[in-house]
A = this chain, B = another copy of it.
Amino acid sequence: MPESSVPNDPSLMEKIVNLSKRRGFVFPSAEIYGGFRSTYDYGPIGVQLLRNVKDAWWRAMVQMRDDVVGIDAAILSPPAIWEASGHLENFTDPLVDCRQCRERFREDQLVDPTTCPNCGGTGTFTEARQFNLMFKTHAGPVESDAAVAYLRPETAQGMFVNFSNVLQTSRKKPPFGIAQIGKSFRNEITPRNFIFRSREFEQMEMEYFIHPDADWLACHEEWLRWCQDWLQSIGLPASHLSLHEHPKEKLAFYSRRTVDIMFRYPFGVQELWGIAARSDYDLKQHQQHSGVPQVYFDEATKQKVVPHVIEPAVGVDRILLAILCAGYAEEDVTDDKGNVEKRTVLRLSPRIAPVKVAVLPLLKNKEALVARARELHAKLKRNYAVFYDEGGAIGRRYRRQDEIGTPWCVTIDFETIEKDGTFTLRERDSMQQRRLTEAELFQLLAEQVY
């Protein structure tokens, strides 16, 4: 039994940042140059976790569903898209400068809007001006207005501008969805909370197109349920999840409803996944700005209609952080000799765990043990991310795997090579051990890892 899953530990974030660095989940970007403006790099273990989360989403969202197809649109995009979407005008934060110390602040985050938190000046702020959060660059050899390009601040517009192309090529009609996983960029004034809010992040978004007269509320509820179910399917506990309904009066005029799935992070309950009913706003905007009809032919009414849309949008990095926060635990455990030691364990679902199985020969100087371990390892890695480790005492090797969330360790011992060929299977959470055959191991993996 875990002594503590440290849910309210104020130092939990610090522990997670440290573990991330120590075990290769997340490194500060360009660290040898002092880091770079709240960007992060995923290390060898982190990238496996990232891939597993994205693959699980893609499998559930695209592969398993007959009504959703994927795309992968470009990050560089022309102003025309963001003019139509409203981002050029409205995707802004209000900024003020202190005339005394020249520091710059987000006006809506100032505790005291008259006093500079940096130099203490009173009444030294300039009028607020709107600062656009899109990263701007220039494509082509001339830095003119005509060459301006933006890094997309969301993947969603990629689905809208490709709506007609997908409609024509995919043999789908509403209700159907277009899904995408990819990087987005927002020039946040105050990135914070590790990978929770950074300037470069990855999104998993899906636009689900429905007939204007369809029961949008039922569809919205269905996606809300789907998203919660999926989060639990990769191991996030229901106890950490809650819903936040955006008040009607705060919704944009075109928006019918937005509900956020919230996650209880160590720094507070924060938005994880937004599920929005966006009416036909986006397609109508693109229709108007591009002059290209954004319609489909409805067989029932024999009319061309602009569909409405339900949009579940989630950040991969936020999911990753939620997984680390929910999975992190410290326990006092007692060894064979009665010594109590602390173990750190990440309780990750086998589906998303970076390493599925660690293969450990009991002793590294016994050729037969090593040969059998290597043989098993070679067989497993054809289908799974596995790790071979022969270094150090077996208990220490278990601990190393616990820290990166490996659900199972398989030890090749003398019983394996001298008796019945069975291995010791050591389970991460219970730390219990039992013997099993190679066939049983493959069956266990086939059932638990998908």
Contacts and interface: CB of A to CB of B under 8 A. Distances in A.
Interface in A59-98: 63-64, 66, 69-78, 80-81, 95
A77 B36 contact: yes
Interface of A: 21-24, 27, 29-33, 36-37, 39-48, 50-51, 58, 63-64, 66, 69-78, 80-81, 95, 104, 131, 135-142, 149, 151, 158, 161-162, 164-166, 169-171, 178, 183, 185, 187, 189, 199-200, 286, 289-290, 292, 381-385, 388-389, 391, 450
Contact of A136 (B36, B44, B137, B170): B137
A160 to B, nearest CB: 9
Contacts of A95: 141
B199 A64 contact: no
A164 B30 CA distance: 11
Name A's interface SS.
Answer: mixed
Nearest to A27: B165
A43 B169 contact: yes
B189 A141 contact: yes
Contact of A165 (B43, B199, B286): B43
Contact of A151 (B33, B74, B137, B178): B137
Contacts of A199: 76, 139
Given A36-B77, A64-B381, 10 more contacts: A23-B169, A24-B166, A29-B76, A30-B161, A31-B165, A32-B164, A37-B139, A39-B76, A64-B382, A140-B189
A18 to B, nearest CB: 12
A200 B72 contact: no
Nearest to A158: B41
Contact of A30 (B80, B381, B388): B80
A51 B46 CA distance: 19
A185 B76 contact: yes
Nearest to A292: B32
A151 to B, nearest CB: 7
14 contacts: A29-B74, A29-B76, A30-B81, A33-B161, A39-B76, A43-B166, A47-B71, A63-B385, A74-B200, A75-B185, A75-B200, A76-B200, A136-B138, A151-B151
A261 to B, nearest CB: 25
Given A31-B161, A140-B187, A388-B66, A41 B73 contact: yes
Contact of A71 (B23, B43, B64, B183): B43
Given A43-B169, A71-B42, A140-B187, A80 B33 contact: yes
A185 B74 CA distance: 11
Given A23-B169, A32-B164, A388-B66, A73 B42 contact: yes
Contacts of A69: 24, 44
B165 A30 contact: no
B44 A170 contact: yes
B78 A50 contact: no
